[in-house]
Amino acid sequence: MAHMSNPLFRTIGLIAKHNDVAVAATLTRLRDDLQGRDIRMLLDESAASYFPQPTDPVASRDMLARECDLVIVVGGDGTMLNAARSMAGAEVPVLGVNLGRLGFLADVSPLEMCERLNEILAGHYAEEQRSLLHAEVWRQDQMIADNDALNDVVIHKWDIARMVELEACIDGRFLYALRADGLIVSTPTGSTAYALSGGGPIIDPALAAVVLVPICPHTLSNRPIVVSDQVVVEILVRGSEDNKAQITWDGQVNLTLATGDRIRISRKAQNLRLLHPLHHDHFEVMRKKLRWAEQP
């Protein structure tokens, strides 16, 4: 849906990919452009590291989430995933500027950045709501970890030679016992990431769904399954003590699991507000990223 009235993004936060030469030029141009406007800027530590003496305040992620009307992320989809997890709870809109490689999430190119920024700051943009997952790890009766994921929560084997043994339940109803290299529980956003290479379907981001994709299952009839995102997915880690497993949120946060651990996965209450230029076309991005219908 398009917004035509000026929402006046008065405070804008900048988050950047760490230690990347390509970031510096784009970030400097972006900051110069914003400094020419009546806008307060807050720099995440990742963005501040590119400026020897930053004149703008350096802010924690909590402060960015609390005070920003918009956060602009300069980097790829990985940087976007990281930023999304910290901004979604406060429902701060996020805009992604890529580094010359189109992303599923970071879709504004550096070449068009200033032009698109003019439009967006004038209120001409499209906003999309993306769902996240919240996953808790329970050991005995204690929650030992919890985190959000925009792409996926993955339970996977720890060493190369063994499979993990898992049991999956949906809303308390037994789904299956699984012996596999792991299990991917993915949002529609994550359906074009790891879940896709595991043989999962591409899910339109507008759908309220979660997909469970077994990784190299022992039983070949264990297929990906798409369920409503209103359910609670529970996964029990089975098998012997030395059969170690790990849980990973968005491929970025890890924890070693023990036999008997339970993972509770449900949809996060808040969505990510993702901003795009006005004529953004998700299918066009998909065609380009997945190289569909290219002439050989």
Indicate if 223 and 146 belong to the same structural domain.
Answer: yes
Q: Which residues are catalytic?
A: 77
pLDDT of residue 100: 85
pLDDT of residue 64: 98
Indicate if 162 and 78 belong to the same structural domain.
Answer: no
Indicate if 137 and 262 belong to the same structural domain.
Answer: yes
| Contact assessment for residue 184 and residue 263, using Cβ atoms and an 8 Å cutoff | no
**Residue with token string 């990919």:** 17
Which tokens is 56 given? 């703008």
Residue 39, in any domain of the structure: yes
Domain count for the chain: 2
How far is the C-alpha of 234 from the C-alpha of 217, rounded, in Å?
18
Indicate if 40 and 125 belong to the same structural domain.
Answer: yes
Phi, psi at 147, each rounded to 5°: -160, 165
Indicate if 89 and 206 belong to the same structural domain.
Answer: no
pLDDT of residue 170: 98
| Contact assessment for residue 47 and residue 15, using Cβ atoms and an 8 Å cutoff | yes
- Residues spanned by the domain of 250: 133-267
Phi, psi at 174, each rounded to 5°: -65, 130
What is the chain's pLDDT, residue by residue, as a tens digit (296 residues)? 444 444 579 999 999 999 898 899 999 999 999 998 889 999 999 999 999 888 899 999 999 999 999 999 999 999 999 999 999 999 999 999 999 888 999 999 999 999 999 999 999 999 999 999 999 999 999 999 999 999 999 999 987 778 999 999 999 999 999 999 999 999 999 999 999 999 999 999 999 999 999 999 999 899 999 999 999 999 999 987 776 899 999 999 999 999 999 999 999 999 999 999 998 899 999 998 888 977 66
pLDDT of residue 158: 82
165: CATH: 2.60.200.30
Indicate if 7 and 101 belong to the same structural domain.
Answer: yes
pLDDT of residue 217: 95
Indicate if 82 and 144 belong to the same structural domain.
Answer: no
pLDDT of residue 3: 47
Task: Pick the closest to residue 76 from 112, 105, 56, 49 (CA basis).
Answer: 105
Indicate if 103 and 162 belong to the same structural domain.
Answer: no
Q: What share of the chain is helix, strand, coil (3-state, %, to 5)?
A: 25, 40, 40
Indicate if 230 and 219 belong to the same structural domain.
Answer: yes
Q: Exposed (0-12), middle (13-18) or buried (19+): which is 14, by Cβ within 10 Å? A: buried
How far is the C-alpha of 138 from the C-alpha of 149, rounded, in Å?
17
Which tokens is 145 given? 């970890």
**Residue with token string 């999956």:** 168
Residue 295, in any domain of the structure: no
Task: Pick the closest to residue 258 from 145, 104, 147 (CA basis).
Answer: 145
Residue 296, in any domain of the structure: no
The DSSP secondary structure of 41-65, one letter per residue, reads: EEEEHHHHTT-SS-SSPEE-HHHHH
Indicate if 223 and 110 belong to the same structural domain.
Answer: no
